[in-house]
Amino acid sequence: MHTERGFPDRERLEGVARAALGPGRRIARVDRLRGGSKKGVYRLTLDDDSTVIVYIWDDTENYWPSDGTDADHTDPFSHASGIDLFEAAHGRLHDLGVRSPRIRLTDTSKAHYPADIAVVEDVRGPTLEEMLRADPRSAAPVMDRLAEALGLMADHTAPGFGKVALVDNGGVSKGGSCEGAVLDRALDDLYEAARRDTRIAVVRDRLEDVVRTAYAAVPARERFAVVHGELGPDHVLVDARGRPVLIDVEGLMYFDVEWEHAFLRIRFGDHYARLLPGRPAPGRGPDRGGAELDGRRLRFYALAMRLSLVAGPLRLLDGDFPDRDFMLGIVEHNLRESLAFLEPDRTRSP
């Protein structure tokens, strides 16, 4: 059974606007922005034509089927959704000097809306994905600034791994190590993918052997840096000064930097080289910082991410997520990439 989707209109959000911006403000228009699957994202256009963004964490906005473990922050890979994760992640990025939309209001009292909400700055510039598609040359300075931000994140370490909200409050994550947590998740994803797609099912045992072999090759390490975890170019806005602005930050973790870079390589493709740690920024002097990447971790994490990008969208499609063709496209591409790890000559870096 699916949750009844009752999205807010202007009348329901008037109290939110007044609380965040002052008692005299009125909403002229409400637009629900597409793309979100865990929280609602709305642009409010006000009576003076200024705009803000409202995030709403509510069951009616969450398209992911619940397995009862969503709020278990000790699992690094439990659903990264909630105002507590948002506030902790935003605070950590702010302290590091990494740009994300400025907060105007957060509220968990339900006094202004019957769910947890945040009102944030509306960064109206394009996404980095749009810039790279339209004119890669104009996007190059933004990419360089993003690489610098990644260096700042990679240079900040913590005594343990896991969600920022958990670790910064003294909590301990499940899994024993970053690679151990990834192994558990990869095996779960492999099971879920095989249960839903026969192409994975017929090679499940072989893929499990590849997963376990890749895991066994990863050496122990206890250096946990700040990673976004899903930093595709669609999760980077560009402000009026050409600075990258990170969004969808609730999944911010202390983890292996290779987890970040495995995802960056998948999502940025041919543009990824500009984001490599240690690469000098053109005309900007010294190296950007960040730990050297380990190829064994990258390969293991790349395989785990491919399996996740098969199983995750298939789980989402168990529900009523509206953009089904888009999700099926993600499944097909990553299923092919997952099966490619079975090729005996798969020796190239991930």
Q: What is the pLDDT of residues 41-90, one digit of tens each?
A: 999 999 999 999 999 998 777 665 565 555 789 999 988 788 999 999 99
Q: pLDDT (tens digit, 9 = 90+) per residue, 216-257?
A: 999 999 999 999 999 999 999 999 999 999 999 999 999 999
Tokens (6 digits) for 99: 């740009």
pLDDT of residue 274: 96
Placement of tokens 């079975």 in the chain: 342
- Answer whether 122's CB lies under 8 Å from 142's CB: no
> What's phi and psi for 176, nearest 5 deg?
80, -35
Q: What is the spatial distance between Cα 41 and Cα 88, in angstroms, rounded to a whole number?
A: 19
- Answer whether 67's CB lies under 8 Å from 29's CB: no
Q: pLDDT (tens digit, 9 = 90+) per residue, 90-143?
A: 999 999 999 999 999 999 999 999 999 999 999 998 999 999 999 999 999 999
The CATH number fitting domain 10-121, selected from 3.40.50.460, 3.30.200.20, 3.40.50.970, 3.40.50.11540: 3.30.200.20
- Answer whether 339's CB lies under 8 Å from 306's CB: no
Q: What is the spatial distance between Cα 53 and Cα 82, in angstroms, rounded to a whole number?
A: 16
Placement of tokens 């960040």 in the chain: 290
Q: What is the spatial distance between Cα 201 and Cα 302, in angstroms, rounded to a whole number?
A: 20
CA distances to 18, 130, 141, 231, 252 from 135, in Å: 39, 8, 12, 20, 29
DSSP state of 183: H
Count other C-beta atoms under 10 Å from residue 32's C-beta.
15
What CATH number belongs to 128-340?
Answer: 3.90.1200.10
End-to-end CA distance of the chain: 39
Tokens (6 digits) for 199: 């192409």
Placement of tokens 């009844």 in the chain: 4
Of the listed ranges 172-176, 271-275, 281-285, the least confidently predicted one is 281-285
Helices (H) and strands (E) in the chain, counts: 11, 11
Tokens (6 digits) for 231: 């930093």
| Strands, E assignment, the chain | 27-32, 40-46, 51-57, 103-107, 116-121, 157-158, 162-163, 224-227, 236-238, 244-246, 253-255
* 157-158/224-227 β-pairing: antiparallel
Q: What is the spatial distance between Cα 268 and Cα 333, in angstroms, rounded to a whole number?
A: 15
pTM above the 0.85 mark? yes
DSSP state of 238: E
Of the listed ranges 20-24, 155-159, 269-273, 316-320, the least confidently predicted one is 316-320
Q: Residue ranges of the domains in the chain?
A: 10-121, 128-340
